[in-house]
Each structure stands twice: as C-alpha cells, then as structure tokens.
Amino acid sequence: MNRSLEAVFKYKGEAPVDVIISQDDDEAPMTEYLSSLKGRYPISHIQHKDRIAPTIKQGELVGYYYISQHYKFALEHAFSQGYEFVIILEEDIEIAPDFFPYFFKLKEVLELDPTVFCISAWNDNGRPGLVSDAEQLYRTDFFPGLGWMMKRSFWEEVKNNWPAGYWDDWLREPQQRKGRVCIYPEVSRTYTFGLKDGTSQGQFADKYLKPIILNQVNVPWMQKDVSYLLKQNYDPIFLKFVKNAKPVAPEEISNFQDTDLLVEYKKGDHVRSCDTFEIMNDEKVGVLRTSYMDVVIFRRNSNRIFLAPTGFQNEISLK
C-alpha cells in the first residue's frame, strides 16, 4: 500500500483527481493503518463491511467472490459522488511517471468513441524483448485490467447485473463487451508487485508478470494526437499494416530488422505459437490477451510482429 500511494502522490502533481481508498472488511490493524494515512495524504477512506458468504462451485476460490462484492461497493460509492470517470487501482500496483497525463489524454477517446469501454494502463505482454515504443497505443478486444478507467455510462449499464464472482472474466464476456474494446499502451504504465500474495496465487507470476517493464519515459501526452485510436481511423491503418506485413516462419525473424512481419497461427492451436514467442497463451471466451481481430502485436528484435490467424492476411481487402 505504501509503495502504491507514494507513487500516486509523487506523480499526481496538480492533477484534479480525488483519491478514495476502499477497504474490504473491517480488520482493526488495516483500519488503523488507513486512518493513519490521512495525516500523510489527502485521501478518503471508505469500508465495505457487508460481506456476503458466497455459494461457490468446486474448484472456485472464495476470494474472487469477495473481490467482486468489494468492487461493486467501491464503484457504486465513487460514481454516487458525481464523478464521470473513475480509475481503478489495486493496492499492489505501482504507477509510471506519466500515468495521470496518459489517462487524462485517453479520456478523450473514451468520450468520443462508443466502441471503447475502457482505457487500460497494462500490457499483458509488456516484457523485455516484446515492447519498445513508449508512445504506441493499441486497441484490444481483451479487457486487460490492472490499472484502468471506466466511464459512468458504462457503470450504469453493467451495475445491476454485476456478478457474484470473477468480475473481470465476466466483463470479457460478449454479453457485456458487446463488441467494444479497450485501449492499452505498448509499454505498461502499471506494475503489479504483489505477485504471490494475492488471490490469483501467483498464476503466471514469475514468467509473465514479474518481468513486465514499467514505463519511465515522461511522454507529454497532452500534446499528442490520439485520434488514430478511434475505430474509423484505426481499423483501416491496422488492416493495411497486417496486409502489407511480410509472411515469415518464426525461425526467419532474426534475418530481418525494422520490418513488419506476419506469423500465422491456426485458431484453436494458438498455444504453440504463443509459447514460441513467450507471450501469454491463454484466452478468455475465445479472445487472446492483447489481441484485436484475433491478431496479437509485439516486437521481436527491431521488428514488429503480427501474429494472425491462418488466412487472415489474404482475407483483407483494402480500398
């Protein structure tokens, strides 16, 4: 918690944001600790005291149900205070120096594009050797979480059906997503350091989470044009890049530099291709992490790689 808060107030500066800390349950040591923070930081402290013992299925973890209850409580409180946008952080997340300018600028996309439902600070594949451009942003069909912004209108849409547990996987379902996407950065603006202490029990932690790069470049976001992320602008550019990428086998990539390359994978047999490049190989409701139109983008050497389904490139018809 200290590490998270220190970064928040170090980089918040004069940004017009209010910090609300929502505590789950009422454990006395944590309550006392959070009360003591009020003398150091301008924060509001709220408590979720009405936990409901859930009914869980075999193999499920009760913690995910308590987390979902807590999320609903915290979001209901925040939006009841009149805020139009809320940024959600967990207590084991550290933020980058340009975290707040990033969200203030990307808020424009959330306001203008009805096909975008969240802005995320996290790249699931943001590890060394896979990313390089601190200013590059992408659209994705996969909800990343781990430091993200949502709009009041989206909360009003989903709050009455908020799930008893596993809220993030629920948001990824077609019934909630409705074809909408998230925006995420090539280089992450958040880093999770609570790796093996949380409910996820360290899943993927050592291999996939611990090496994530936290951006240290102070990008002047308010001076940047992010209109290329709007669907009507992004899709033609994205499809053109994929169409013009050079098809190669994975072992041929080292023969190229500064080139857009296409590597194909068979849908349903993506794990082998993902493992070849050491990118995350799991999917949720058929959507690969960071993918857009089933295409995953990452770097290899100085090349940009488009990992796309077999035949996707040939199906693209450019105007």
Q: Are 134 and 215 in contact (CB under 8 A)?
A: yes
| pLDDT for residue 202 | 58
DSSP 27-62: -HHHHHHHHHHTTTS-EEEEEE----PPP--TT--H
What whole-number distance in Å separates Cα of residue 139 and Cα of residue 119?
9
Q: Residue 258 catalytic?
A: no
Active-site residue, from 92, 168, 235, 294: 168
Helix pair angle (2-12, 99-112), 10° resolution: 80
Q: Are 143 and 82 in contact (CB under 8 A)?
A: no
Q: Per-residue pLDDT tens for 261-276?
A: 999 999 888 999 999 9
Backbone angles phi, psi at 312, to 5 degrees: -60, -45
Mean pLDDT of the 66-89 span = 97
246 or 55, greater pLDDT: 246
Query: Could you tell me the pTM of the whole model?
Result: 0.95
Does 201 score more than 60 pLDDT?
no
261 or 13, greater pLDDT: 261
Q: Per-residue pLDDT tens for 122-168?
A: 999 999 999 999 999 999 999 999 999 999 999 999 999 999 999 99
Domains of the chain (ranges; CATH) run 2-223 (3.90.550.10), 242-315 (3.10.180.20)
Does 198 score more than 60 pLDDT?
no
Does 229 score more than 80 pLDDT?
yes
Radius of gyration of the chain (CA): 20
Q: Are 120 and 145 in contact (CB under 8 A)?
A: yes
Mean pLDDT of the 307-311 span = 97
Mean pLDDT of the 32-48 span = 91
